[in-house]
Amino acid sequence: VKHAFTLVKSCSFESIIRCIEPNLFKVSPYPVIFNIENHCSSKQQKEMARILKTILG
């Protein structure tokens, strides 16, 4: 995951989802909406979907 024109270091999509997961439904009873700006190939999108399903269910 990268954010252009910022000083933020890149990190893996999986590491971000793993970081979010522990508190996803504990902090608020309301749904979480992910806004993913996706510039990935079909193969990469399938991998992102697999990661989301595996970690978040």
| Residue 25: predicted pLDDT | 77
Residue 30 has pLDDT above 90, yes or no: no
Residue 36: predicted pLDDT:
87
Q: What does the pLDDT average to over 3-7?
A: 74
Identity at 21, one-letter amino acid code: E
| pLDDT for the residue numbered 26 | 81
Mean pLDDT calculated for residue range 26-48: 88
**Residue 53 pLDDT:** 96
Residue 54 has pLDDT above 80, yes or no: yes
Yes or no: say if 37 and 2 are a contact pair by the CB < 8 Å rule: no
Q: What is the 3-state secondary structure (H, E, C) of 1-57?
A: CCCCCCCCCCCCHHHHHHHHHHHCCCCCCCCCCCCCCCCCCHHHHHHHHHHHHHHHC
Token pair 């970081």: residue: 19
